[in-house]
Structure 1
C-alpha cells in the first residue's frame, strides 16, 4: 500500500471516468478489512498511525471515485487543472440564467398544489442535464489536448451547479416529508 499513489491506482482501477463502481466498492471493503485501525490495536504506535492514515486515504479515495462530479474533478486535477478555484472562470451566461430559472422553480415548488410532482419533474430535468454534461466531459477528456481539457473543465464547472441543485431538491423533498 502506498498513499502516494493516486486514488485510481490505490483502488486498483483504470484512470478513467467510466469505472466499475461495484468493483471499486468490493475493493474498498477488502482494503478496509486489511487496513482498519482496530486490526492494529496491539501494534506499534507507528503502525497504528499508518493504519489511521491508510484508512483516511482509502475513505477519501472511495468518496471521490464514487461521485461522478468528484471523480471528474480528480481526473482533471491529475492533469493539472483546478476546477475548485473560480477566480478567473467565466461560465456561459445562458447556462447561468437557466440555473436561476431552475432555482426559482425549486423555491416555488413548496407553494405549488403538488410540490412532490414539481420536485420530481425538476429532479428529472437536472439528472438529464447532468448525464449530458458527464457525456460531454468524457468526450472532451478522452481527446486529451489542452483545448479539450478546458472543455472538460467547463463541463465540470456546470456539473458543480447541477449537483448542488440536485442536493437541494433532495433536501426539499425530505423537508416536505418531515
Structure 2
C-alpha cells in the first residue's frame, strides 16, 4: 500500500508518467486510498472529482485484483514485470529520438568489427571506441551531457564558446 499517487508511475501509458505536474491536491496520497476496500472497486466519485477527465478514465480502466495484497512496482516493458538491463536496452533501441545514432552504428559496423578483432589491449580498443562516439570525458562532452557547467578552459583560463 505504498504506491504514491503523485510520485510513482502507476497509470499505464501515461505521459508524463508521474502526476506531480498534473494534480496538486494529493501530495501524500497513496493509490490504495482510491480503492474501496470492501467492494474492491475504484472510488469513482473521488477519482472523477480529483483528476482531469482523461486521467480519471485511464485510472478507472485499470483492473483491480479481487483479493487485496501489497502493492508492487512492475516494469511494463517485460512480460514478467521485472526490470532487466536487456529490456531497458530494447526500450532505448525502439526510441526514435536520434535516428542518426543508428545510421552511424550501421555505417561503422565493419570498422568496429575489425577494431574488436585487432590484437591490442582492451583498454586501447575501448578508448578508440569511446573517441569515435564522443564518449571521452572531455569538458565539451561533459558539458553537452550536463555533467558540468564549467565553460572555462583549464589551460588558458578563457571561456569556451559553442
TM over 0.5: no
Whose relative contact order is higher, 1 or 2, with alpha carbons under 8 Å and at least 6 apart?
1
Superposition TM-score tier, normalisation by shorter sequence: under 0.3
TM-score, normalised to structure 2, is: 0.24
TM-score, normalised to structure 1, is: 0.23
Q: Which is higher, the Rg of structure 1 or of structure 2?
A: 2
